[in-house]
Amino acid sequence: MKVINKINDIRKYVDSLRKRGKTIGLVPTLGALHEGHLSLVRRAREDNDAVVVSIFVNPIQFGPAEDLKKYPRPFRQDRKLCEKEGVDIIFHPSVSRMYPGKDSTGVNVEGLTDKLCGRSRPGHFRGVCTVVSKLFNIVKPHAAYFGQKDYQQFLVIRKMTDDLNFHVKLRLCPIVREKDGLALSSRNKRLSIKERQEALCLNRALKEARRLIKVGKVSGAGLIISRMKRMINSQPGARIDYINICNPETLEDVKIIKGKALAALAVFIGKTRLIDNDVIS
């Protein structure tokens, strides 16, 4: 496995792979890898001749109140995990290599980014789209892999990919959960033992939404959302950022559930903001 820091070096490497007719799978990450990321790496490994994992804590997707400095950067551990999964290249650029000087060009997807997480994290998706488009241009992957936990991120990147004609297949991979249902996230490490227990309310509320929709008795989204709110609010350390039931393609809220619906929520557990979702048909 190679670790490459320089943009020109990775360009040379991927160009030679492409010349030899090899397919490249890209798994973009912020590092602090867990089983969720590794499931993306395994899928990329299955589908492609070469797997590139990018590890880059992208400063421009963090808001001023979000803790960029404290974001974990356990590079040695990440490197070991990648090695074990048969990754070919870790692309690990510095901030100054990715953003030399003041950044002045950004990629903005409109519409989809006004909703859900976009409301409480202004500028976040612009930061994500900017770095992902740079990674697509640098690594030129045939396919790129994203986790369903960041469902809105996937839709936004898909829109950007279509609109800007990036020649890359996007793959959405299922959420990986702990045995007790908590969706894996590098933020889970920030939870105290008590908060870790309280955090289970996110998945519990989603399960309740799924149950209500599946039994077919409740089709009004408002009623389901109030049930979910009650479950979350019963945890003293929990504060709801949003709970929405919406169209899984447009993210527009739905009133009456017909066909597929996305139940999505963001909840602060103490100071840690967690997200989770489920696509229910």
Distance CA 198, CA 17 (A): 47
Question: Cβ 179 to ligand PAF, closest distance in Å?
Answer: 23
131 binding ligand PAF? (CB under 6 A):
yes
**Main-chain phi, psi angles of 38, to 5 degrees:** -65, -30
Q: Is 81 in the site for ligand PAF (CB under 6 A)?
A: no
Residue 50 forms beta bridges with which residues? Answer: 24
When binding is defined by CB under 6 A, the residue of 85, 150, 195, 276 that contacts ligand PAF is: 150
Helix (H, G, I), strand (E, B) or coil at 155: helix
Q: Binder to ligand PAF among 39, 61, 152, 185 (CB under 6 A)? A: 61
Contacting ligand PAF (CB under 6 A), which of 26, 132, 221, 275?
Answer: 132
Strand 169-173 and strand 24-29: the pairing is: unpaired
Distance, in Å, from the CA atom of 123 to the CA atom of 142, rounded to the nearest integer, reads 28
Closest contact distance (angstroms) between CB of 30 and ligand PAF is 4
**Applying CB under 6 A, does 148 fall inside the site for ligand PAF?**
no
Nearer to ligand PAF (CB atom), residue 25 or residue 237: 25
Active-site residue, 37 included = yes
- Tell me which residues in 11-30 interact with ligand PAF (CB under 6 A): 28-30
Helix H or strand E encompassing 145: strand 143-147
With CB under 6 A as the contact rule, the residue among 58, 133, 152, 203 that binds ligand PAF is: 58
Query: Looking at beta carbons only, is 28 or 248 nearer to ligand PAF?
Result: 28
Structure tokens at 37: 């990321």
| Residue 129 CB, nearest approach to ligand PAF (Å) | 9
Choose the binding region for ligand PAF from 125-133, 200-208, 251-259, 268-276 (rule: CB under 6 A).
Answer: 125-133
Angle at 159 between CA 153 and CA 164, to 5 degrees: 125
Burial-class residue 191 by CB neighbours within 10 Å (0-12, 13-18, 19+).
buried
What secondary structure letter does DSSP report for 220?
A: B
Active-site residue list: 37
Summarize as ranges the residues that interact with ligand PAF (CB under 6 A).
Answer: 28-30, 58, 61, 128, 131-132, 150, 153
